[in-house]
Amino acid sequence: MIDFHTHSLLSDGALIPSELVRRARVMGYTAMAITDHADESNIEQVLKQIIKVSALVNRDKGFRLIPGVELTHIPPRRIPLMVKNARALGARIVIGHGETLAEPVEAGTNMAYIKAGVDILAHPGLVTEEECRAAVKKSVRFEITSRGGHNASNGHVARMCKEFGVRMVVNTDSHSPGDLITDEKADKIALGAGLDNADIRRIRENARELLKKAY
């Protein structure tokens, strides 16, 4: 399992980063990103700690931990600068907190993150044709998520991605130990979103490509 979207107690997760990594490894993960929620108020501190933990974990060549961040509830006009700052501060994976149906995310957030070139648009909700076409041009991946609430739009996201050629990844958005999943469960999440086995193979290829890009 390669999972690009997880949270530790550096934001609103339940575990310290090292325990999150240990539990993921026991679940069969080979790589993951810790992408705690951040905005202008905490991004420097959050990334500093995740980068420190990643350096320690990555001494073991059998597993890869990617330092990342999920930019969250940022007004669209400030998103381009925040994405730039996140990368400058050392984030290897930058996720945009998309217009999920489960939260009151400001309209225009999806497109702002896409245009700013995030790696992944998380739980993007009722994505539009315009957003899909822009994502293809900017090589932004859309997330199919296993997280309850956010996954309400998985079927729509999957259908739109297939229609317009947007690359997808399956992530957990884990906040607690019980949120981590196996490869088998990830495949079932994809199938439940209306995807097929060929789509699942491409999703895995997309994950490997993004992992390679991050390093």
Judge whether residue 47 has pLDDT over 90: yes
Whether residue 215 has pLDDT greater than 90: no
What is the per-residue pLDDT for 174? 98
Length of the chain: 215
Task: For the chain, list the domains and their CATH numbers.
Answer: 2-214 (3.20.20.140)
Model confidence band, residue 130 (pLDDT cutoffs 50, 70, 90) = very high
pLDDT value at residue 24: 98
Mean local confidence (pLDDT), 195-211: 98
How many alpha carbons fall within 13 Å on the CB side of residue 184? Answer: 2
Residue 13: pLDDT over 90: yes
Res 84 pLDDT > 90: yes
pLDDT band at 17 (very low <50, low <70, confident <90, very high): very high
With a cut of 90, say whether residue 44 has pLDDT above it.
yes
Tens of pLDDT, residues 179-198:
999 999 999 999 999 999 99
The predicted model gives 89-94 an average pLDDT of 98
Cβ(51)–Cβ(34) below 8 Å: no
When pLDDT is cut at 50, 70 and 90, the band that residue 92 belongs to is very high
Residue 61 confidence (pLDDT): 86
pTM for this predicted structure: 0.98
Q: CB neighbours of 52 closer than 8 A, spacing ≥ 6?
A: none
- pLDDT at 69 (0 to 100): 98
For residues 119 and 210, the answer to whether their CB atoms sit within 8 Å is yes
Q: What is the mean pLDDT of the chain?
A: 97
